[in-house]
Chains A and B, each alone.
Chain A
């Protein structure tokens, strides 16, 4: 692959870089690296096996005849399952569909550089979605929300992270993006939040106004109506501006020459509506062009009247008498005494004309851009609709897809956004929880309580371990991530202990063959 040389203007500021300084994170990663380089071996059926493994592999040997089959199950750490962000090439004026079926609506001026200058060429985005408790745990983003001193737990209808690959790119707050998240949850009780990285807290943005069962098909139709409506109204505006422009052009004054008394001339009153370009001037005559095939004898005739009309930028003078006409080409000339006054009048007229023309041309150019932008978006939407059509037909056959609810966010800066319904902790049962591993007590700062039946997730901090709340009527799952990032769980419990009872939760390390987010989801049946 060829190299690329790019010139840049400056280094990253120290203050920006120092935001990422995190020695605890380094210690944690180093612990994971050390753990993953350990050697594990087990005795089974009298066979001793020492297997060197580059990852934290637990090797199970089976069989009694000296021949063994190995099944590798890996201890799962958060670092192993963090999904890659989707890379999106975002061009201006487009509607982009992400891998998960979410939509991103981008305007002409949506991206700016650090100096606020609009980036015309489009940019590379990274986009990551989180929909279920596992994905939210992986994200490491707190799923609690503090409001007026009360801590709430998010019941998320979808969360996403959007960033520019180039850190110098920003979103223009005057032309924000619209991210329409393909949420997997129906319902109308959700709010939209933005994550404040500095304060490590969520900030309320707006109430989510998505109606119930607002499917992708409906959202695409809504967008189609919006942009084709815009296209149609802008088209009318463009047509009307073009007509105004043509009329103004007709009024562009021309500068009459001074009359030449040697030439034949005729005085004719000009209709300012028919010839607005001459409306400014008085004392006008039409001089017969010397090179036209004018017969001077005609000048000695007495004509009843003469009229002038414009044909293809030429002024044609026609003389009438009875049934006889005589037509000849002429030019308007000034027959007054002060030609320089007339010239000043022309200069004034032409500058007024230019001003009007400039302003109408600018308006026309802006409207044409809007029209093209709307047109481009409509084309994108139609392309998505065409692609979706067979899927929609398939969904209808099976009675519609529950997850096809699209929720719209206005995104005026890069970051993490969430559509959530804040809930308080369950109150049905409280126990004094202790979390254990085979080796003894586990030192955890928080655990995640997942209600399997409704996929609600609560983050329970260690200060709540003594009064650990849950609903015994649910099928509950506790997931923890320990200091080296290893995932442990305690699954499928309902009623357990009561009141102040000390309850030991023996947390099982998660060891599965497929240590990916997909594998873990399958394991937990999310």
Chain B
């Protein structure tokens, strides 16, 4: 899920509304939206699942469910892809529950380092390992917020759309998680 792909212009969003309307009339028109968002959705899922075949299967389920429920899509000044991310998120949660798999977040080392620097730019090397441990201790929904905000670089508006919460709520929740992370890391330092 790349920030650049995500922040699409207003004009493009309106174009998407037309594509959604066409897909409601004839499912074959959904192919344009499928083509546009296949890669970001596939990568979003692969980032968590790390298995190509299973990712392909879940990605296909996401688009099939989106197509079946396309009438339910409501334009909320966020791109259609955020609605897809919401479906993908639910599908992955189901997958983890069904397979009894540990909630694993795969993150590029650079991004984790960058995130650590944002938290504390002075003791970054020492913090890096502690930060990994602190992230592991978070509740899954808290970790998801960190993942979306800092590793996938989504805006609060986009996070709100995916999690079906208000933008303000997304902002507050993110702030609280960061505060909690800082406290956990500091406690580790005291031990």
Interface residues of A in 22-74 (CB under 8 A from B): 22-23, 25-27, 29-30, 32-34, 37
Our pick among B42, B52, B67, B132 for the contact of A5 (Cβ within 8 Å) is: B132
B51 touches A165 (CB 8 A): yes
Interface residues of B in 102-123 (CB under 8 A from A): 102-109, 112
Question: Is A302 part of the contact surface with B, judged by Cβ < 8 Å?
Answer: no
Question: Is B63 part of the contact surface with A, judged by Cβ < 8 Å?
Answer: yes
Contacts of B56 in A (CB 8 A): 20, 22
Contacts of A16 in B (CB 8 A): 52
Question: Is A163 part of the contact surface with B, judged by Cβ < 8 Å?
Answer: yes
- Knowing A6-B105, A30-B68, A165-B51 are in contact, say whether A21-B38 is a contact too (CB < 8 A): yes
- A2 to B142 alpha-carbon distance, docked (Å): 12
- Knowing A12-B43, A26-B34, A163-B53 are in contact, say whether A4-B63 is a contact too (CB < 8 A): no
- Knowing A20-B42, A20-B52, A26-B67 are in contact, say whether A5-B135 is a contact too (CB < 8 A): yes
Nearest CB on A from B50, distance (A): 6
Question: Is B3 part of the contact surface with A, judged by Cβ < 8 Å?
Answer: no
Nearest CB on B from A212, distance (A): 36
Contacts of A463 in B (CB 8 A): none
Question: Is A167 part of the contact surface with B, judged by Cβ < 8 Å?
Answer: yes
Question: Is B21 part of the contact surface with A, judged by Cβ < 8 Å?
Answer: no
A4 touches B68 (CB 8 A): no
Question: Is B153 part of the contact surface with A, judged by Cβ < 8 Å?
Answer: no
Question: Is A387 part of the contact surface with B, judged by Cβ < 8 Å?
Answer: no
Interface residues on A, range: 20 to 34
Contacts of A22 in B (CB 8 A): 56, 60
Q: In the complex, how many residue pairs between chain A and chain B have their CB atoms under 8 Å apart? A: 111
B61 touches A29 (CB 8 A): yes
A26 touches B60 (CB 8 A): yes
Our pick among B38, B42, B107, B140 for the contact of A8 (Cβ within 8 Å) is: B107
- A8 to B47 alpha-carbon distance, docked (Å): 9
Contacts of A167 in B (CB 8 A): 50-52
Q: Mark B3-44, 1 if CB is under 8 A from A, else 0.
A: 000000000000000000000000110110011001100110
Q: What's the dominant secondary structure at chain A's contact region?
A: mixed
Question: Is A9 part of the contact surface with B, judged by Cβ < 8 Å?
Answer: yes
Contacts of A25 in B (CB 8 A): 60
A11 touches B61 (CB 8 A): no
A8 touches B108 (CB 8 A): yes
- Knowing A5-B135, A7-B107, A27-B27 are in contact, say whether A20-B112 is a contact too (CB < 8 A): no
Give the nearest-CB partner of A17 in chain B.
Answer: B42
Interface residues on B, range: 35 or more
Give the nearest-CB partner of B53 in chain A.
Answer: A163
B55 touches A3 (CB 8 A): no
B46 touches A3 (CB 8 A): no
Our pick among B30, B35, B50, B135 for the contact of A166 (Cβ within 8 Å) is: B50
- A88 to B92 alpha-carbon distance, docked (Å): 22
Question: Is A174 part of the contact surface with B, judged by Cβ < 8 Å?
Answer: no
Question: Is B138 part of the contact surface with A, judged by Cβ < 8 Å?
Answer: yes
- Knowing A8-B106, A8-B108 are in contact, say whether A33-B136 is a contact too (CB < 8 A): no
Our pick among A5, A9, A12, A34 for the contact of B68 (Cβ within 8 Å) is: A34
Nearest CB on B from A18, distance (A): 7
Contacts of B51 in A (CB 8 A): 165-167
Contacts of B34 in A (CB 8 A): 23, 26
A2 touches B39 (CB 8 A): no
A30 touches B27 (CB 8 A): yes
- Knowing A2-B136, A27-B27, A166-B51 are in contact, say whether A17-B43 is a contact too (CB < 8 A): yes
- Knowing A17-B46, A20-B59, A29-B61 are in contact, say whether A4-B52 is a contact too (CB < 8 A): no
Question: Is A14 part of the contact surface with B, judged by Cβ < 8 Å?
Answer: yes
- A26 to B109 alpha-carbon distance, docked (Å): 34
Question: Is B165 part of the contact surface with A, judged by Cβ < 8 Å?
Answer: no
Question: Is A10 part of the contact surface with B, judged by Cβ < 8 Å?
Answer: yes
Question: Is B125 part of the contact surface with A, judged by Cβ < 8 Å?
Answer: no
Question: Is B143 part of the contact surface with A, judged by Cβ < 8 Å?
Answer: yes
Question: Is B188 part of the contact surface with A, judged by Cβ < 8 Å?
Answer: no
Question: Is A301 part of the contact surface with B, judged by Cβ < 8 Å?
Answer: no
Question: Is A386 part of the contact surface with B, judged by Cβ < 8 Å?
Answer: no
Question: Is A1 part of the contact surface with B, judged by Cβ < 8 Å?
Answer: yes
- A77 to B132 alpha-carbon distance, docked (Å): 44
B136 touches A4 (CB 8 A): yes
A10 touches B105 (CB 8 A): no
Most buried by B among A5, A23, A165: A5
Our pick among A14, A30, A163, A166 for the contact of B67 (Cβ within 8 Å) is: A30
Contacts of B140 in A (CB 8 A): 3
B106 touches A9 (CB 8 A): no
B67 touches A1 (CB 8 A): no
Question: Is B183 part of the contact surface with A, judged by Cβ < 8 Å?
Answer: no
- A11 to B39 alpha-carbon distance, docked (Å): 12
B46 touches A12 (CB 8 A): yes
- Knowing A5-B132, A9-B109, A20-B59 are in contact, say whether A29-B104 is a contact too (CB < 8 A): no
Our pick among A1, A7, A21, A30 for the contact of B64 (Cβ within 8 Å) is: A30
- A27 to B137 alpha-carbon distance, docked (Å): 41
A interface residues (Cβ-Cβ under 8 A, vs B): 1-12, 14, 16-18, 20-23, 25-27, 29-30, 32-34, 37, 163, 165-168
CB pairs A–B below 8 angstroms (8 shown)? A5-B135, A6-B104, A12-B46, A20-B59, A23-B31, A26-B60, A27-B27, A168-B50
A-B contacts besides A2-B137, A27-B27, 7 pairs, CB < 8 Å: A2-B102, A2-B136, A6-B107, A7-B132, A11-B108, A20-B42, A21-B35
B interface residues (Cβ-Cβ under 8 A, vs A): 27-28, 30-31, 34-35, 38-39, 42-43, 46-47, 50-53, 55-56, 59-61, 63-65, 67-68, 102-109, 112, 132, 135-138, 140, 143
